């Protein structure tokens, strides 16, 4: 039995840092475990300009604890009529690493998102021509479509056509939650990849209703049936280079989650590696964890792999009921559980 796993330093290819006081509280959790992270731009107002993005990046960097080596990789928020030249300028200047497509009203902070992909085709063509990746929240927003079907319907209605029409565009299908999404990614060419969150590897939709309503198991895209969770575990641990680590860590105050209309999002940053490695261990795939956590992401993005290593050891990590993020109380993923791996740094 492997009791200790040393891997190249990993990155988190999708998360939310927010801004202001709570940002100062959550950045250290990620900086403790990851060398880099792709930072989502769904602030209020969203990050759309190069200058606004530089300022946000500076605020994040100021929140990294002294002596910790961590680099935020920034993203642009796509709106209808976005200027492709501005995106390309931000990409060329090393400010934007990628751009994020939120279908309008799909999730938290998506009110300014894209109403129809046709609106942004010129910008997507420009991105394809300069090699700038497109990150997609892949759900339709049509309220007539059952919430559990919105990802699969998005593939049919939007994503398959986009990949067909613009095959040279690099696309990350973010936080996939279905067997349909994994099958789509597997069947697509090398320009289509996906991130998978820890929660979608650990829980199915029953977790939201176990003995009562469980707001801390609610995120978007929402967890699906067990058959989908199993397909995601298979994809993540398959050894395919198309899948990589992206936590979608999404901090919301405990009070905003435990409410008549609780926010979507699971805060998994504090114990992200312990959570993922548990899945790879359970699947007998510890030897594939390094590629998923530390290699597939940078290779897809065309970025260098990190230097240095981190170590995870078998042992007990007791996850607290709540964590303090600079004055905001947040319930972390796995609250109250004990995980069987310890992060040693
Ligand atoms: O659950 C989610 N929370 N899904 C998203 O797409 C956004 C995120 C957030 O920003 O809270
Ligand atoms: Zn997200």
Ligand 1, atom nearest to 106 Cα: 6
- Helix/strand number for the chain, H first, E second: 13, 13
**What average pLDDT values come out for the chain (345 residues) when binned by 10 residues?**
96 98 98 98 96 98 98 98 96 98 91 94 98 98 96 98 98 99 98 99 98 98 98 98 98 98 98 98 98 98 98 98 98 98 97
Rounded CA-CA distance 81/86 in Å is 12
Please give the helix or strand (H or E) that residue 256 lies within, else none: helix 254-257
- How confident is the model at residue 172, as a pLDDT? 99
Residues 226, 106, 22: CA angle, nearest 5 degrees:
90
* Number of CB atoms found within 10 A of residue 283's CB: 17
Catalytic residues: 248
Ligand 1, atom nearest to 218 Cα: 1
- Give the mutation target among 16, 223, 224 for probing the ligand 1 site: most ligand atoms within 8 A of CB: 16
Architecture of domain 12-305: Alpha-Beta Barrel (3.20)
Is 148:110 a contact under the CB 8 Å cutoff?
no
Tell me if 108 CB under 6 Å of ligand 1: yes
Residues in CB range of 99: below 8 A, 6 or more apart: 75, 76, 77, 78, 82, 87, 123, 127, 132, 133, 134, 135
What is the end-to-end Cα distance of the chain in Å, rounded? 21
Q: Is 222 left (phi over 0), alpha (psi -120 to 50) or beta?
A: beta
The ligand minimizing its distance to the Cα of 109 is 1
- How confident is the model at residue 107, as a pLDDT? 86
Ligand 1, atom nearest to 16 Cα: 10
- How confident is the model at residue 1, as a pLDDT? 84
- How confident is the model at residue 281, as a pLDDT? 98
Rounded CA-CA distance 332/271 in Å is 8
- How confident is the model at residue 208, as a pLDDT? 98
Encoded tokens for 12: 């988190």
Tell me if 141 CB under 6 Å of ligand 1: no
The DSSP bridge partners found for residue 5 are: 312
- How confident is the model at residue 108, as a pLDDT? 83
Give me the residue spans of the domains in the chain: 12-305
Residues in CB range of 320: below 8 A, 6 or more apart: 332, 335, 336
């Amino acid at each position: 039995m492997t009791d200790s796993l040393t891997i190249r330093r990993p990155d988190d290819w999708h998360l939310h840092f927010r801004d202001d006081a709570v940002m100062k509280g959550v950045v250290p959790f990620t900086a403790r475990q990851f060398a880099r992270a792709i930072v989502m731009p769904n602030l209020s107002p969203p990050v759309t300009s190069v200058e606004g993005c530089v300022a946000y990046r500076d605020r994040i960097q100021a929140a990294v604890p002294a002596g910790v080596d961590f680099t935020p990789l920034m993203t642009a928020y796509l709106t209808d009529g976005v200027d492709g030249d501005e995106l390309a300028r931000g990409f060329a200047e090393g400010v934007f690493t990628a751009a994020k497509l939120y279908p309008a009203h799909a999730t938290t902070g998506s009110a300014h998102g894209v109403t129809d992909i046709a609106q942004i085709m010129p910008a997507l063509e420009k991105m394809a021509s300069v090699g700038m990746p497109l990150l997609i929240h892949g759900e339709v927003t049509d309220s007539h479509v059952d919430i559990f079907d919105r990802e699969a319907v998005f593939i049919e209605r939007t994503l398959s056509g986009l990949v067909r029409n613009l095959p040279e565009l690099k696309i990350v299908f973010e936080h996939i939650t279905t067997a349909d999404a994994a099958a789509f990614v597997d069947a697509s060419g090398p320009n289509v990849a996906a991130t998978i969150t820890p929660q979608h590897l650990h829980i199915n939709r029953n977790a939201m209703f176990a003995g009562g309503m469980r707001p801390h198991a609610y995120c978007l895209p929402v967890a699906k049936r067990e058959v989908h969770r199993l397909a995601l575990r298979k994809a993540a641990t398959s050894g395919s280079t198309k899948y990589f680590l992206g936590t979608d860590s999404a901090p919301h105050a405990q009070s905003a989650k435990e409410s008549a209309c609780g926010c979507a999002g699971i805060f998994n940053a504090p114990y992200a590696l312990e959570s993922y490695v548990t899945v790879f261990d359970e699947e007998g795939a510890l030897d594939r964890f390094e590629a998923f956590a530390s290699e597939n992401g940078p290779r897809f993005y065309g970025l260098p792999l990190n230097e240095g290593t981190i170590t995870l050891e078998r042992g007990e990590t007791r996850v607290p009921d709540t964590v303090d993020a600079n004055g905001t109380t947040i319930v972390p993923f796995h609250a109250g559980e004990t995980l069987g791996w310890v992060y040693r740094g």
